[in-house]
Structure 1
Amino acid sequence: MKAIMLMFDTLIKDMLPNYGNEWVYAPNFKRLNEKFHTFDNFYCGSLPCVPARRDLHTGKYNFLHRNWGPLEPFDFSVIKELKEQGISTHLITDHWHYGEMGGFGYHNQFSTWELIRGPEGDPLEPIFGNRPSISQHNLNQQGTLVVQHAYNRQKLIGEDTMPITQVFNKALSFLDKYHGYDQWFLQVECFSPHEPFIAMDNYRKLYTDTTDEDILNWPVYQQVSTLISDKQDFVTIQKEYAALLSMCDDYLGKFLDKLEDLQLWDDTLIIVNTDHGFMLGEHNWLGKNVGPQYEEIAHTPFFLHLPKVEPRRIPQLTQTIDIPATLLDFFSLPMTVEMCGKSLIQVIEKKIDIHESILYGIHGGHVNYVRLPYVFMKGSANKENQPLETYTLLPLKGNCGFEKAELEEAELVYDVPFANGFPILKIPKKNHYDSFTQGDLIFDLSKDRQQLHPISNEQLQEKLSQELIMKLKENDAPDSLYERLFGK
């Protein structure tokens, strides 16, 4: 038995032909329909990148208890469990956040791993000499990451040197070398199409004739005005994203061809997925994290090939936390710890519902509750967006530790159910998100898939609030979260 997870970062569902897109050139994503189950109601869990990866290891929500940070000492990791049960696990990735302090502990769980350098603001090239040209477009990012990326780009000359190319070349090499062996799991994790949306010109020419070097391809996370000029900029950003997506599609095709050549379909579970989507001007938002987590971010594409099972569309409500349980189920390993996620194999084989409802969100932002057809985005009950507490034994974030003032407020607490018996630090935090101002939002996706018309119905909101409270209790949410959301 073998399993593969091919994960693209920031893959937007509505940009794929599998979900109705008619203008993006992605024939190889369309090929997935031939061999893969296509999930129509698959959602993210914790946002953004690294919190999603903690969900992938633990089968539990990160965002209820802590910010972006490392795998905790008390965490169950499905990757570690596979390894300890004699299954070789290998990671090939250019996801540079694994190299940061706040990304510690994830890649280390694999039996072996390969990290490709260079995407985004990866601290690869020393910043010496003449400064490369940097876009001054008012919607493009500025700052340290952009400068670092400009220096990295000086080393990335031609498509063969691009991180995405290196990732897929190594993945194809792995399959060539080890396809005849048994009992392995391969995670191929590609940072593209995460911003900056940089694709080779042959892909860009599919959508635009511009040769301007000041390309709008790295949008600032923000809400923007409704001016016509901004809407034209949205189209530009969408085309640059589409170009990078077409580049990803090309490499996906090479990967699918290799699976075909090596006849891996009969004994290999294969997942194609993402961590989250992205706003490309919808609702007048760009990016993620800073605004409400609309469908464009949270409702993600997901494809699963299960050997010797005819593929079909899967309507059941599912999400990222279900992947660890699925891997255990496929390799016939018992679930030795309690997970929130359930096996997707049961959904496919038995056509059962594994979730009546799910949660998703970002630590400190809206807590989002999905019970189809409704999506309930619950914001803070107070303008301070407090209280907010982080629970951790590794007080790290991004590429730094917590500040001295934060740790002076820390308290060691015991008998916390989600810490698996470990004492844990409870640290009060400033909240950088303002879900209070953005407010509570309810949408009926059966009538308003684009979420353009929030529902104002006190009776429905009260019912969904009570359901949300029960769901939070099921997932061991801290008392401070109820106080922030409901004022009690």
Structure 2
Amino acid sequence: MNVLFISIDSLNRHFLRSYRPNSPIDIETPNLDEFADRAAVFDNHYAGSLPCMPARREWLTGTQEFLWRPWGPIEPFDTVLPEVVRSQNVLTQLVTDHFHYFQHGSNGYHESFNGVEFIRGQEYDRWRTSPRDPDGELLSQLRRDGSGASDDLNLDAGTASDEPDDLRFMNRAAYARNAAGFDVESDFFAPKVFSRAANWLETNEEWSDWFCYVDSFDVHEPFHVPEPYASMYTDEDPTDPELPIWPYYGRTDEGQSELSDRELAFIESQYAAELTMVDEWFGTVLRTLDDRNLWEKTAVILTSDHGFYLGENGYVGKPFEAPVRNELARTPLMIWHPGSSRMGDRIDELTAAVDLFATMADVLGLEVDGAPHSRSLLPLLTDEVDDHREWALYGYWGSSVNVTDGTYTYHRPCDESTSTHCYSTTMMDSVGWFTPTRPKHDAESGRFLPYTDCPVWKFEGPSHGRHEEPLLYDVESDPWQRRNLAGREPERSEEMRSLLVDALTELDAPANQFDRLGLERPRP
């Protein structure tokens, strides 16, 4: 059996017809629609550890990491899926433009594949240094208004500017340089990723079994697309330098992210345009599966790491101050398996991102030890079971912790005055993602993790609150999570609080997590 695993970064499930037939924008995604009709569509699938690389550690190692550490590397004690697959003489390949694999603090994710196809130039990828003065109109759209305001995601030492001459980290001028000379559709990232994935499928037919991971950074921002896509969902001039294609994260009505209704509508239109371009080129993979008669010997899994706020509840992006509502946390999942009787079905059972590791190993017929938190979905697909999870946990390290039972979501705030403990074999920067590790003189070494006897460093980092009070939502009757029921339904709130305690206890979460969340840890 082959496995084709496809992740589309920042894919909002409510923009897909298969999940929301009456989307506010009628977005053309015929190939994703076709795949949804063929596959099993999971209606209650949740992210786990956010954002980018934490999600990939869950997928590739079966470890729910955000309770123990933030964005970081594969750990030496991790069981890494491509490494296990290779040990069974199965070919492995990664095709991606996701440049975070190659940044500080992200080592170990791509090294175990037999082959890696890396398309350069996305987002802040440190690739091209010329032209020194990139296209002014594009640069203005990347910076929203050309003001040179610093990026709120920059966590490198001090601040950074978006001025072209500024050489500090995370300068948006880097993207303008990388994209210089993009003249036709095939120059852009999604066309390159999916066409090269299709080519790999065509040129590796002689291998009897393989695992191919296609990781598309689009539809992640910046929402930079060529025609005809750029004009598909707007009457604006897509090249107008006054209109942003790379919004700053935060509230849409205040601060750096303040956006007019016109600007927000344009951002949404360009997100939709990028999604349609991704869909068009995803279609090349589907056609290759057709042409090469691969469907009957290939399982195809399609998902996303998280969503992206586009004005919902007053937020844009993935801002630190926003609660982790379903726009970010409830993600699409579609699985085609040639041996399953449930193809074309909707699956309502609660599932989680971390389960994809065990699922892919199971499909490949591998017995894997060392995936502490992953549960295979294959029994659901083969009608061996009719339930899967009682809870799913999700969130960012050092922030609020969230739990769902599939009907309700409960969001527990953290005490910002209480530090968060970080556990890793590296002295990772617990605040600044993908920045160099620096010595921590107050770190303690020991066997602190419940799922390995390997010693790790333990050190403190900050807690970051997203909301002051608990939040409770009935996502069946209130899918946009606008009515907080925590004060209105105290019994249900207590049930969900208890479910959170049960989940943390089952995972043997650090005692510090109970403290910072104001929860009492059950006695042994």
TM-score, normalised by the number of residues in structure 1: 0.94
Select which of 370, 392, 402 maps to 2:404: 370
Structure 1 position 147, deviation (Å):
1.3
CA distance in 2, matches of 1:229, 1:473: 42
Q: How far has the Cα of 1:129 moved from its partner?
A: 2.7
Residues 201-228 of structure 1 show CA distances to partners (whole Å, capped at 9, x for unaligned) of 2012211232233232211110232899
> Tell me, what secondary structure is at the counterpart of 1:46?
coil
Residue 317 of structure 1 corresponds to which residue in structure 2?
350
Structure 1 residues 413-457: Cα deviation after superposition (integer angstroms, max 9, x where no partner): 225313x111110010133x223x443211011211110101023
Q: Do the aligned residues in 2 keep the contact of 1:69 with 1:103 (CA within 8 Å)?
A: yes
Please give the secondary structure, in 1, of the residue aligned with 2:18. Answer: helix
The structure 1 residue matched to 2:421, chosen from 361, 374, 389, is 389
1:295 to 315, 326, 329: 326
- Corresponding position of 2:513: 481
1:74 paired with 2:77, answer yes
Q: Which residue is 2:158 aligned to?
A: none
Tell me what 2:276 maps to.
246
Kept in 2, the 8 Å contact 1:289–1:362? The answer is: no
The match for 2:368 among 335, 348, 369 is 335
Aligned to 2:98: 95
Question: Structure 1 segments of 4 or more deviating over 4 A?
Answer: 138-142, 226-229
C-alpha contact (below 8 Å) 2:61/2:371 kept by paired residues: no
Q: How far does residue 395 in structure 1 lie from its aligned partner after superposition?
A: 2.3
1:56 is the counterpart of 2:59: yes
One-letter amino acid matched to 1:213 = D
Please tell me the residue identity of whatever aligns with 1:242. Answer: A
Give the distance between the partners of 1:250 and 1:459, measured in 2 at CA.
48
Q: Deviations over 1:16-51 (max 9, x none)?
A: 111124411111111113321111111111000000
Given the superposition, is the C-alpha separation of residues 193 and 415 from structure 1 closer, same or farther in structure 2, using an over 3 Å criterion? closer
Aligned counterparts, 1:35-434, within 5 A: 35-126=38-129, 129-133=132-136, 134-135=139-140, 136-137=143-144, 143=162, 144-211=170-237, 212-214=239-241, 215-225=243-253, 230-290=260-320, 291-309=322-340, 310-350=343-383, 351-380=385-414, 382-384=415-417, 386-397=418-429, 398-404=433-439, 407-418=440-451, 420-431=452-463, 433-434=464-465
SS class of match (1:154): coil
Q: CA deviation at 1:470?
A: 1.4
Give the partner amino acid of 1:278: F
Q: CA deviation at 1:127?
A: 5.3
Answer yes or no: is 1:454 the counterpart of 2:456.
no
> Aligned-pair distance for 1:365?
1.3
Taking the aligned partners of 2:284 and 2:209, their CA distance within structure 1 comes to 24
8 Å CA contact 2:407–2:474 kept in 1: the answer is yes
TM-superposed deviation, 1:273: 1.1
Structure 1 counterpart SS, 2:382: helix
Deviation at 1:250, TM superposition (A): 0.3
2: distance between equivalents of 1:99 and 1:289? Answer: 24
Supply the distance in 2 between the matched residues of 1:228 and 1:149 (Cα, whole angstroms).
Answer: 22
Change over 3 Å in CA distance of 1:383–1:166 after alignment to 2? closer
Name the aligned partner's letter for residue 500 of structure 2: L
How many residue pairs align between the two structures? 481
Distance 2:226 2:281 in 1: 13
CA contact (8 A) 1:101 1:396 kept: no
Structure 1: how far apart are the matches of 2:504 and 2:86?
32
State the TM-score, normalizing by the size of structure 2: 0.88
5+ residue gaps, structure 2, are 152-160, 163-169
Aligned amino acid, residue 463 of structure 1: E
Contact 2:195 2:284 (C-alpha < 8 Å) held by counterparts? no
**Would the aligned equivalents of 1:11 and 1:277 in 2 still touch at CA under 8 Å?**
yes
3-state SS of the aligned residue for 1:98?
Answer: helix
Query: Contact conserved, 2:144 with 2:245, CA < 8 A, in 1?
Result: no
Q: Check 1:91–1:128 CA distance in 2 against 1; reply closer, same or farther (3 A cut).
A: same
Secondary structure of the residue that 2:201 maps to in structure 1?
A: helix
In 2: Cα distance, 1:387 partner to 1:86 partner: 45
- Structure 2 Cα separation of the partners of residues 389 and 28 of structure 1: 44
Residues 62-84 of structure 1, C-alpha deviation per residue, up to 9 Å, x if partnerless? 11100101111111112211111
| Superposed counterparts of 1:432-471, under 5 Å | 433-435=464-466, 437-455=467-485, 456=487, 457-471=489-503
- State the Cα RMSD in Å: 2.1
SS of residue matched to 2:328:
helix
Are 2:94 and 2:214, in contact at CA under 8 Å, matched by a contact in 1?
Answer: yes
Cα pair distance change 1:266/1:207, threshold 3 Å: same
